[in-house]
C-alpha cells in the first residue's frame, strides 16, 4: 500500500513506456516488503533541467536515467562515480540531502553477467559495436582488469575513436578493427565476445549475425546484449560452436540490481528480478 511514508524512485527517459525496470524493481520491493514504489517519468529533452530540480525538491530518492538523457544529465550532478565519469554517461541517480550523485551501472551489469561464467580479469575481450553500450562495457571491462580489449565495428573510425579514449585512461592493451578477416583472426585466441549492436534484434531476428559458428571456438564465452529475442542468431551460432552463452537479460538484471543497491543499500534477489523480466518480455505468464 502507498502511504505518506512511501519512498519514490523511478525512471526518467523519453520514451519510457516499454521499460522493464518498473516491473523489475516493484517486484523486488514487494518481495522484500519495502515501502518503496518505482514509477516511470517521461521527460522531454528540453525539460530535463526542471525535471531534475523537481525531483530534488520533491524528495525523490533515486532515478534511473535512460535515452536520451544519459550524457546530458551529468551537468546537473554534484558528484559522479568513477565508472560514470570514465564512460561519460549516467544511468542511476541517488538523491541525498544536498547532494545528487550519478552512477553508471550498465557496464557493471555486463561484467557481472560475464562473471557468472568466467572472471574478466586478465581475459582477452572483443566487443562488437562502438556506440554508448560498447563504451560502457569496454570501460567497465578495463576497470575489472581485462587483459586486452578490442573494439570491432562496422565503421572503423568509430571503433578507433573509442579505443583512443580507452587508451588515454588505461595502460591495458586496446585495439580497433573492422568487421573483416582481422576479426576472424583475433577471435581465435579470444576469451569473451560481446555484441553491443542491435543486429538480430526484433523485428530483425533473421539478420545474419556478424560472427558465425565457424569463427568461434569451444572455450569462447559469447554475450549478446540483445534480449529480444532471448536466443538471438549470435547465441544460436555460439551454441553450434559449443561455446558458452549469456543472453541479454543478464546485463539488464545486474544493472538493475546494482541501481537498487545504490538506492536502498540492500542486495535484491536475482530470481525476483529475473522472473519480472521474463514476464515483462512475455516469455512466462
Judged by CB under 6 A, the stretch of 23-31, 39-47, 90-98, 126-134 that binds ligand ATR is 126-134
Residue 133 in the binding site for ligand ATR (CB under 6 A): yes
For residue 134, the minimal CB distance to ligand ATR (Å) is: 6
Quick one: angle between helices 249-264 and 106-115, nearest 10?
A: 120
Interface with ligand ATR: number of residues (CB under 6 A)? 14
Give the nearer residue to ligand ATR in terms of CB position, either 233 or 268: 233
- The correct pick among 60, 134, 241, 277 for binding ligand ATR (CB under 6 A) is 134
Active site residue 208: no
CA-CA distances (angstroms) from residue 14 to 41, 60, 131, 182, 220? Answer: 8, 19, 19, 38, 37
C-alpha cell at 256: 538493475
- Residue given cell 521527460 in the structure block: 43
Give the nearer residue to ligand ATR in terms of CB position, either 121 or 204: 204
Residue 104 in the binding site for ligand ATR (CB under 6 A): no
Residue 196 in the binding site for ligand ATR (CB under 6 A): yes
Distance CA 144, CA 122 (A): 9
Catalytic one of 30, 33, 61, 70: 70
In 3D space, the residue among 203, 192, 247 whose CA is nearest the CA of residue 225 turns out to be 247
CA–centroid distance for 253 within its chain: 9
Residue 129 in the binding site for ligand ATR (CB under 6 A): yes
Residue 255 in the binding site for ligand ATR (CB under 6 A): no
Spatial contact of 234 and 209, defined as CB atoms under 8 Å apart? yes
In 3D space, the residue among 2, 42, 36 whose CA is nearest the CA of residue 19 turns out to be 42
Residue 199 in the binding site for ligand ATR (CB under 6 A): yes
CA–centroid distance for 17 within its chain: 18
The answer to whether the bond into 15 is cis (omega within 30° of 0) is yes
Q: Which position's Cβ is nearest ligand ATR?
A: 131
Distance CA 267, CA 99 (A): 23
Residue 119 in the binding site for ligand ATR (CB under 6 A): no
For residue 207, the minimal CB distance to ligand ATR (Å) is: 7
* Residues designated as active site: 70
User: Using CB under 6 A as the criterion, which residues of the chain lie in contact with ligand ATR when the complex forms?
Assistant: 129-134, 153-155, 158, 196-199
Amino acid at each position: 500500500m502507498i502511504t505518506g511514508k512511501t519512498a519514490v524512485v523511478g525512471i526518467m527517459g523519453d520514451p519510457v513506456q516499454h521499460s522493464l525496470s518498473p516491473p523489475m524493481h516493484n517486484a523486488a520491493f514487494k518481495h522484500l516488503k519495502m515501502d518503496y514504489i518505482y514509477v516511470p517519468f517521461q521527460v522531454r529533452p528540453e525539460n530535463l533541467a526542471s525535471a531534475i530540480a523537481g525531483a530534488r525538491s520533491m524528495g525523490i530518492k533515486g532515478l534511473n536515467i535512460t535515452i536520451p538523457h544519459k550524457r546530458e544529465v551529468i551537468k546537473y550532478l554534484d558528484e559522479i562515480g568513477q565508472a560514470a565519469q570514465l564512460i561519460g554517461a549516467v544511468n542511476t541517480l541517488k538523491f541525498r540531502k544536498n547532494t545528487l550523485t550519478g552512477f553508471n551501472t550498465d557496464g557493471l551489469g555486463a561484467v557481472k553477467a560475464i562473471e557468472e561464467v568466467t572472471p574478466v580479469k586478465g581475459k582477452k575481450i572483443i566487443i562488437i559495436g562502438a556506440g554508448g553500450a560498447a563504451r560502457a562495457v569496454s570501460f567497465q571491462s578495463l576497470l575489472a582488469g581485462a587483459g586486452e580489449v578490442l573494439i570491432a565495428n562496422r565503421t572503423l573510425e568509430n571503433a578507433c575513436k573509442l579505443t583512443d579514449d580507452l587508451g588515454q585512461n588505461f595502460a591495458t592493451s586496446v585495439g580497433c578493427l573492422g568487421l573483416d578477416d582481422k576479426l576472424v583472426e583475433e577471435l581465435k585466441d579470444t576469451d569473451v565476445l560481446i555484441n553491443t549492436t542491435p543486429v538480430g534484434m526484433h523485428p530483425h531476428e533473421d539478420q545474419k549475425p556478424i560472427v558465425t559458428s565457424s569463427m568461434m571456438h569451444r572455450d569462447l564465452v559469447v554475450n549478446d546484449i540483445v534480449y529480444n529475442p532471448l536466443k538471438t542468431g549470435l547465441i544460436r551460432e555460439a551454441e553450434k560452436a559449443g561455446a558458452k552463452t549469456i543472453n541479454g537479460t543478464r546485463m539488464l538484471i545486474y544493472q538493475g540490481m546494482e541501481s537498487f543497491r545504490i538506492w536502498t543499500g540492500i542486495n535484491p534477489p536475482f530470481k525476483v528480478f529475473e522472473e519480472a523480466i521474463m514476464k515483462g518480455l512475455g516469455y512466462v505468464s
